[in-house]
Amino acid sequence: MAAMLMVGCGSSPEAAPTEPDSKVDAGTTALSPGTSPPSPARMGSLAYGVDGDIYVADWDGSNAVRIADGRPSDDCVPGWPGEFWGEGPIWSPDGRYLAYRHTNCDGPEDARRHVVISDRQGNVIAEFPADGWDISWSPDSTRVAVWATTFETIGVFGLDGERQALLPIPPGLLPSGDHDPTWLPDGESLVLRGLVIPIDGSTPYHRPLSGGTYSPDGSRVAKATRKSLVIAQADGSNPRTVLDALVWEPVWSPTGDRIAFTTWKLGSGGVNQVRVLDVATGTVTLLAEAGGSDQLGVIDFSPEGDRILFARMAARIGVGSLWTVTAEGSDAPRRLVAVTSWGDWLSPGPPP
């Protein structure tokens, strides 16, 4: 899964690596009943992991604060990102919490993947064991969904770390490939590629295009098929092809007027271009391109929709950097953070 979050832009000028200017040790303060929720972070705040640590910074990587201080890869589990790391979305939609991974560097191999939920200062709200890669936040920021046992059962956990549901996946319905569960906009079901899993324990079922990504208002879904990008109503009805091309990782802009994605350059052998589609006109603009064996992965739009965050990954897993480029392609891509390809801008969640 981490290999699909590829990194960005060989033609742009190098920027100096961002260095944190302060450090906050991770705490152990749990969110007890009756406790007021933490205050939300500023929209656009950047969360990312580097060499076993977790940082929170301004959108451009400045004013970085280390909120989880962990052991690096070579002092923890060789070949792993380090003691703390983040894959996929990190911020809760309301900006009050972060969810990231933690491994016990000295623990048994079969018990190394944990989920940590903390506030933006690094105070730990909950920690619990979970398999898989990405951690999916519910639309209302009250729950996360992860693999409890990879490819067998999905766990739904509250902010207190208590498991609220354990959802088995019938072997005959399990989609192929490495995929993590994500929430549907209604917060009542999860989706695993094209398989819808109701959290009330009802029988999972297939729904057209349900494995795609949803527009900010939840009314439309965009999905990359084998040869095209398709947009339909949220229930999969009225599909229409908006682009005849092999694309990866389509991401909607906050206003739903554009979709950013990665694609292949003919003959390159890798996902090494970032492009953006104007949904109304069908116009496609090339924003960034990587050379050699480096690959790119779109992460998110800025809250205003004017910039795109993407990652650049070298051939060796874990060696990458975070970049940004304007959604119009009016300037050269700019590197924000070196030595990581795991990051997340805090962007507006779906409306209540």
Number of domains composing the chain: 1
- In-domain check, residue 295: yes
**pLDDT tens digits, one per residue of 61-83:** 999 999 999 999 889 988 788 99
What is the Cα–Cα distance from 329 to 273, expressed in whole angstroms? Answer: 13
Confidence of residue 28 (pLDDT cuts 50, 70, 90): very low
Average pLDDT of span 294-302: 92
Q: Which amino acid does the sequence have at 84?
A: F
Q: Is the pLDDT of residue 17 over 50?
A: no
Q: Is pLDDT above 60 for 51?
A: yes
Q: Give pLDDT, residue 3.
A: 37
What whole-number distance in Å separates Cα of residue 215 and Cα of residue 308? Answer: 16
DSSP 189-250: EEEETTEEEETTSPPPEE-TTTTSEE-TTSSEEEEE-SS-EEEEETTS-S-EEEE-S-EEEE
What is the pLDDT of the chain when averaged over all its residues?
A: 85
Residue 8 has pLDDT above 70, yes or no: no
- What is the rounded CA–CA span in Å between residue 204 and residue 175? 12
The pLDDT of residue 315: 62
Contact criterion met (CB below 8 Å) for 86 and 22: no
CATH at residue 74: 2.120.10.30
What distance in Å separates the CA atoms of residue 276 and residue 286, rounded to the nearest whole number? 7
CA angle 66, 124, 310 (to 5 degrees): 50
Q: What's the average model confidence in pLDDT over 116-133?
A: 96
Confidence of residue 212 (pLDDT cuts 50, 70, 90): confident
Q: What is the average pLDDT across 325-333?
A: 92
What does the pLDDT look like over 276-296, one tens digit per residue? 999 999 999 999 998 777 889
Between the alpha carbon of residue 304 and those of residues 65, 162, 300, the distances in Å are 24, 35, 11
Q: Does any domain span residue 242?
A: yes
- 45/320 Cα distance (integer angstroms): 20
Structure confidence at residue 30 (pLDDT): 52
Between residues 140 and 5, the one the model is more confident about: 140
Stretch 29-37: mean pLDDT: 64
Predicted confidence band of residue 112 (pLDDT cuts 50, 70, 90): confident
CA dist., res. 70 & res. 82, Å (int):
7
Does residue 351 sit within a domain?
no
Q: Which domain holds residue 84?
A: 2-345
| Mean pLDDT, rounded, for 152-176 | 92
Beta strands at 195-198 and 114-118: parallel, antiparallel or unpaired = unpaired
pTM of structure: 0.87
Spatial CA neighbour of 319 closest among 345, 344, 293, 300: 293
Residue 266 has pLDDT above 70, yes or no: no
Q: What number is the average pLDDT over the span 86-110?
A: 90
Instruction: Take residue 69 and report the two structure tokens written for it.
Output: 């201080």
**pLDDT-above-90 percentage for the chain:** 61
Where does the pLDDT of residue 6 fall: very low under 50, low under 70, confident under 90, or very high at 90 and above?
very low
**pLDDT of 317 over the 80 cut:** no
User: Would you state the pLDDT for residue 10?
Assistant: 33
Asked if pLDDT for residue 249 goes beyond 70, the answer is yes
Pick from 2-6, 197-201, 253-257, 300-304: least confident: 2-6
β 258-264/271-278 pair status: antiparallel
Q: What percent of the chain has pLDDT over 70?
A: 86
Band the pLDDT of 183: cuts 50, 70, 90.
Answer: very high
Q: Does residue 53 sit within a domain?
A: yes
Q: What pLDDT sits at residue 253?
A: 95
> Measuring CA to CA, which residue among 100, 107, 108 is closest to residue 128?
100
Angstrom distance (rounded) from CA 83 to CA 127 = 14
Q: What is the DSSP string of 19-47?
A: --SEE---B-----TTPPPPPPPPTT-EE
Asked if residue 352 is part of any domain, the answer here is: no
Give the lowest-confidence range in 78-82, 89-93, 148-152.
Answer: 78-82
Helix (H, G, I), strand (E, B) or coil at 110: helix
Element (H, E) at 344: strand 343-345
